[in-house]
Amino acid sequence: SRIKEVEFVKSSSRARDCPKDERPEFAILGRSNVGKSSLINVLVRKKEVARTSKKPGKTQLINHFLVNKGWYIVDLPGYGFAKAPETARMDWSSFTKGYFMNRNTLVGVLLLIDASVPPQKIDLDCANWLGRNNIPMTFVFTKCDKMKVSKGKMPHENIRDFQQLIGQNYGKHPAWIMTSSVTGLGRDELLLHMSQLRNY
Ligand code: GTP
Ligand code: MG
C-alpha cells in the first residue's frame, strides 16, 4: 500500500469530462472544510498536491490525482457550504450525483465526517443517499486531534453518536477509520483499507 508517485491529472466540471481509462478510483466526499484536500495531501505525503484553505468552498471541480500510475484519488467539491444560496446547493447535488451515477470505475467513496462536531444532518443525509444507491462507502472521521470540546462532546463521543444514528438505517455498517491530517493518525490504516478494496 505504499505511495511512490502521485500526479495531478485534470480538473473536470462534469462527469463526462473525467479521465476515460479503466483505472479504479476512490472519491473523497464530505462537507466543505471537513478536510478532504488536507487528507489527500497526508495520504500522498505532499504538502500542496490538493489545495487547502481555511475558507470553505476551495475545491470547485472534480480533481483527479493518479497514484503509482495505477489508481485515482478524486477530490470533489464540498457540500453544505452554509453560506451558499439554496440554488448553488442544488447545483452541487446534481453535479456530484451525476458523477456518482456515471462513474463505473468507482471502487468506493471515502465519506469524510468532522469528528470535532456533533452529527450533522447533511452528513447523515449524504450517507443515506449513498447507501440507498448502493455506492460502497467508508466513513473517514477527520480532525480527531481536536481536543477542544464542541457542545461538551469529544471526537470519540461524536463518532459514537454518528454511528448510532446511522445504525438505525443500516443492517451492515460501513467500515470506519479515525484520522487526523495534523498528526497523521489513520493514514496507514486508510491506505491499507484502500489497497484491500482495490484488490477485492
Ligand atoms: P473544501 O475544498 O472547501 O470543500 O474544503 P476541504 O474539505 O478540502 O478542507 P481543507 O482540506 O481545505 O481543510 C479545511 C481546514 O481544516 C483547513 O484550515 C485545514 O488546515 C483544517 N484541517 C483539515 N484537516 C484537519 C485535521 O485533521 N485536524 C485539524 N485540527 N484541522 C484540520
Ligand atoms: Mg478541498
pLDDT tens track, the chain, 200 positions: 688 889 999 998 888 889 999 999 999 999 988 999 899 889 988 766 666 666 665 556 889 999 999 999 998 888 766 555 555 555 556 667 778 888 889 999 999 999 999 999 999 988 988 888 888 999 999 999 997 666 678 999 999 999 999 876 666 788 999 999 999 999 999 999 999 999 87
Whole-number Å distance, alpha carbon 174 to ligand 1 midpoint, is 23
Q: Is residue 104 part of a domain?
A: yes
Which of 31, 46, 52 should be mutated for ligand 1, with most atoms under 8 A from CB? 52
Rounded to whole angstroms, the Cα distance separating 153 from 147 reads 9
96 lines ligand 1 (CB under 6 A): no
Nearest to 144 by CA among 168, 127, 162, 131: 162
Assigned domain for 36 exists: yes
Residue 35 CA, ligand 1 centroid: distance in Å: 3
Decide whether any atom of ligand 1 lies within 6 Å of the 59 Cβ: yes
State if residue 78 touches ligand 1 by the CB under 6 angstroms criterion.
yes
Q: Is there a domain that residue 133 lies in?
A: yes
Residue 53 CA, closest ligand 1 atom number: 12
Relative to beta strand 62-67, strand 25-30 is unpaired
Cα distances (angstroms) measured from residue 179 to each of 17, 33, 68: 31, 15, 23
Encode burial over 147-161: b for 16+ CB neighbours within 10 A, e otherwise: eeeeeebbbeebbee
Residue 150 falls within a domain, yes or no? yes
1 occurs within a structural domain? no
Measured N-to-C along each axis, helices 36-44 and 187-198 cross at an angle, to the nearest 10 degrees, of 80
CA of 200 to the centre of ligand 1 (A): 30
Q: Which domain holds residue 81?
A: 6-198
Q: How far apart are CA 92 and CA 86, in angstroms?
A: 10
Report how far ligand 2's centroid is from the alpha carbon of 35 (Å): 7
> Does any ligand 1 atom lie closer than 6 A to the CB of residue 63?
no
Ligand index nearest the alpha carbon of residue 35? 1
99 located within any domain: yes
Grid coordinates in use for 50? 490538493
The rounded Å distance from CA 49 to ligand 2 centre is 11
What pLDDT was estimated at residue 24? 96
Query: Residue 71 pairs with which residues in a beta bridge?
Result: 67
Any domain includes 86: yes
User: What pLDDT is attached to residue 98?
Assistant: 79
The three grid cell numbers given for residue 172, joined into one nine-digit string? 451492515
Kind of pairing, strands 71-75 and 106-114? unpaired
Q: What is the ipTM of this complex?
A: 0.98
- Tell whether ligand 1 has an atom less than 6 A from the beta carbon of residue 53: yes
Q: What phi and psi, each to the nearest 5 degrees, are found at residue 125?
A: -60, -40
Our count of domains for the chain comes to: 1
CATH number at residue 22: 3.40.50.300
Alpha helix locations (H) across the chain?
A: 36-44, 86-102, 121-132, 155-167, 187-198
CB atoms within 10 A of CB 3: 13
77 CB burial (10 A radius; 0-12, 13-18, 19+): buried
